Amino acid sequence: MGNRGMSLLEVMVAVTIFILVIGVLYSISMGIINAHEIQEITVTTNDEVRRAQMVLIPRLRQAARGSINWAALPGDTVTFMMADDVDGNGFAVDVNGDIELVGPITIQRDANDANGDGLTLSQLIMTNAAGTQVLANGLMEGVAAGAATVDAPPGVGFWVAPRNGGLEVTIRVEGRTVRDRLYMTEMTEVVRPRNYASSGTSPGRSGAFGATKMQNLCQKETHEISPYQRIFRFII
């Protein structure tokens, strides 16, 4: 037997096979890392949107229709007053049957950094007499630029528009991978406010509602889900 070792051709073949194996292993590892990152972004954006909807939708459903800023809608700010138990009798109506209201409540993107945390258009906040509460982070930061469309303008993270006698609320939250790929979750729901009040309603007693006040407050909930739309978009 000879002791001449490996030829140049054999070395080249071995190196080529080694490089191919390394390349395959690298591709698999990057795929696993990317899948984990995308899954984490998906879970985070879903949680942000759902958290906002869980706070926002029940309050809009209890809103007095006449207190909503209809004239400013469609838009990225909604203001309203909602029924609540002001006098502590266990119901959101007083002894005269008048609906008790609290507010005004404003839900909008934090354009002016109301809570002083350094975040602005990427944050959805609710402001009332009690202060400012963050509803969601990571909103798309696009500006409507005077748009008055019912459908949310591209890139705008929060939009409210009248639809079918109610309000269509759209929330979009985005996340970026380390490779700067953008993923977005959008959820839209149509909710019908079920209480009635004049535009001059003030906190406390709601004013003259007649015999329908208790009926309006206690009627069966009617709201549409359009449905929850989970839309994941990949943008280069």
pLDDT tens column, 135-187: 888 888 777 766 666 677 777 888 888 888 889 988 888 887 777 777 888 88
- Residue 39 confidence (pLDDT) above 50: yes
- Residue 193 confidence (pLDDT) above 70: yes
What is residue 202's predicted lDDT score, i.e. its pLDDT? Answer: 43
Q: Where are the domains of the chain?
A: 8-235
- 40 DSSP 8-state letter: H
CB 132 within 8 A of CB 116: no
Mean pLDDT computed over every residue of the chain: 73
Average the pLDDT over 15-42 and give the result.
81
What is residue 213's predicted lDDT score, i.e. its pLDDT? Answer: 40
Average the pLDDT over 198-209 and give the result.
44
* pLDDT tier for residue 90 given thresholds of 50, 70 and 90: low
Measured CA to CA, the distance from residue 168 to residue 227 in angstroms comes to: 11
User: Out of 16-20, 34-38, 105-109, which region has the weakest mean confidence (pLDDT)?
Assistant: 34-38
What is residue 145's predicted lDDT score, i.e. its pLDDT? Answer: 63
What is residue 222's predicted lDDT score, i.e. its pLDDT? Answer: 36
Map residue 20 onto helix, strand or coil. Answer: helix
Choose the most confident range, by mean pLDDT, from 79-88, 93-102, 107-116, 225-234: 107-116
Phi, psi (degrees; rounded to nearest 5) at 184: -130, 140
96: CB partners within 8 A, 6+ apart: 205
pTM (two decimals): 0.66
Q: What's the chain's Rg over C-alpha atoms?
A: 27
- Residue 188 confidence (pLDDT) above 60: yes
- Residue 86 confidence (pLDDT) above 70: no
* pLDDT tier for residue 88 given thresholds of 50, 70 and 90: low
